[in-house]
Each structure stands twice: as structure tokens, then as C-alpha cells.
Structure 1
């Protein structure tokens, strides 16, 4: 959950950059590259292509949800400035580096047979976030999207 949340927070920064640079939300070529890279790396963790493809498709949907919300908000109010060096290329490097930890966590999750009580674990984690004062609803919804396929069997 921690890495998923970090990924969604990085998506927020990507959205700020894209909005200020007037870049489109969707980049299908990049999405295909991310999934292909994850599928290849997932093999080293013993994960099936379908499992990785579905899981990373959910990560991308969550990122696009966050980006859409931020970019829409940017139409109505000024978006914050990014820190020096936070450009699209550097943010994508950060996202790519998270891939290995996401795959490792996914493999550990599957190997521990958490899927049997997955809905309880995910629900408890989301409920915990809901109780955190000031935790943005947008980020909670993105985390729910990112964990959508976690409980499904292959």
C-alpha cells in the first residue's frame, strides 16, 4: 500500500507538470512501455504475465485518475510549483524505480496467500486512510483503483 500511495503521489506531480506544460493526460505509448517493462520484470518474481498486466493496468488507471483530478482542479485554481529538477523525465524515472518494489510486494503478497483474506486487508487499509484527518478523498479513490485486481485470482 505504501508504494501504491507513493506512486499515486508521484502521479500528482506528473499532473502538475503536464498541466503547466499543456501536455495531454494520456500517453498510450508510455502506458504500453510501462506494462511491457513490468511484465518482463515480473518474470523474475515468478508472476504471471496476466497478473502483472492487470495489476499495472490498475496502477495506470489510478495514476490517470489522480492526474485528471489535479488537471481539472488546475483549471479553477493555481497549481503549486514543482521543485527544481521535477520534470516529466525525472518523475518517470521515479515511477520506473517503484516498479521493482511493486513487483516484489505483489509476489510476496501472492506467495503469502493473502488473497484469501485480501478484501479484509485492503478494506482495513483503506478504512485506516479514511480516518486520517486531511487524507484526500481523491487519493483514497486512486488507492482503491490501484488495488482493484489485487484480490482477484488468476
Structure 2
């Protein structure tokens, strides 16, 4: 990985750490959506903002014994999402897969950052952020994602979903100035949005 890319990743991590307390209020879909925004932009924004916390999580875990992969925590999150889906009339398998994708996308970012920092220790973070600020942001974006799954079910189940999702992903990537790593991770997080089971 080039030093330029590593430096950009580090800058994004520092930026994410600095704004983590603001994401929940300043960067919600309602604040960033435009009148002419693609119809799926709110859900893509919520997924991207959820994914932004992966930078902070990686920074907090770097140099500690905390693993990136936490199967017990993942099962807890997926079980909760499945139960929520049932309560809200959504297909639980579909919702569970969508949130499995969120977890995997977060791990893409964390593993990539660890690789950069391991290869170039001078770029590694030296300040550990407080992860207690991250969970409320993830929870808020989860609520937005679930609300959008309910509101956009017709489009999400239609042949128009894939082009609509592509338009929204491009718009969000441009609005949030996502680098190559975070564009790849965002695509990973969106794998199942247009593929509801059942």
C-alpha cells in the first residue's frame, strides 16, 4: 500500500475521531439530503455514517488485546436486529443479512487500517478514543437504516433498486469525499440491500 494512501487513511481516522461526537446530530441524512437526492440516498448515508465509526474503533483497538473479530458481539447484534425486524414486519433473514454486511464492512476498514499501521508504524495512532461515544452513533444509524428498509420496501424489491442504489452510492461517496478504502467498504455494506429474502 502506498505511503500516500496510508497517509490519507490516517487523516480520515483522525478526522473521524475528532467528529465522532458530532456525527449523530450534524451529519444525519436529514441534514445532508438535497431536494433532488436519489431516493435511496438516506439509507446509503446512514450506512456510510455507521461505517465511519470503524475508523474510530480501529484506533481504539490498535495496540491493545481487543480483537477486530468479536463473534459473540456479532451474534448479539444480529439476534437483536432479527427480533426488531419481526416486530416491525420486516423479513428477519433479510435484515440480519444487511446488518451482517455492516459488520463485515467495518472489519474491512479495521483490517486495512491495521495493515497500514503495521507496515508503517509512524502512521499509527497515538491517542486512543473513547468508544463509549461510538455506540450511540451506531444505534442511531441502525434506526435510520431500519426506518428506510420499511419506507423503501417497494423500491428495494423492484428491478429499479440496483440503479437507484448505484446513484445513491455515487452521491454519498461524493458528498462525504470517501477515499478508495471507504468506497470499497461501503459497497460491501450495501451488498444485500436490493436482495430481500422471501
TM band (smaller chain): 0.7 to 0.9
Contact conserved, 1:45 with 1:104, CA < 8 A, in 2?
A: no
Q: Judging changes above 3 Å, is the alpha-carbon distance between structure 1 residues 137 and 129 closer, same or farther for their aligned structure 2 residues? A: farther
Unaligned runs of at least 5 residues, structure 1: none
d(CA) in 2 for partners of 1:123, 1:3: 15
Provide, for residues 54-111 of structure 1, a one-character-per-residue CA deviation record: whole Å limited to 9, x for no partner: 11111111111111112222221222635xxx4234323432333222111112121x
d(CA) in 2 for partners of 1:12, 1:102: 20
Unaligned runs of at least 5 residues, structure 2: 1-43
Contact conserved, 1:61 with 1:145, CA < 8 A, in 2?
A: yes
Residues 1:68 and 2:111 aligned together = yes
Please state how far the C-alpha of 1:114 moved relative to its aligned partner: 3.4
Q: Corresponding residue for 1:5?
A: 48
Please state how far the C-alpha of 1:49 moved relative to its aligned partner: 1.3
Q: Judging changes above 3 Å, is the alpha-carbon distance between structure 1 residues 41 and 81 closer, same or farther for their aligned structure 2 residues? A: same
Q: Secondary structure at 1:150's aligned position in 2? A: coil
- Indicate the RMSD between aligned Cα atoms, in angstroms: 2.1
Greater displacement, 16-25 / 73-82: 73-82
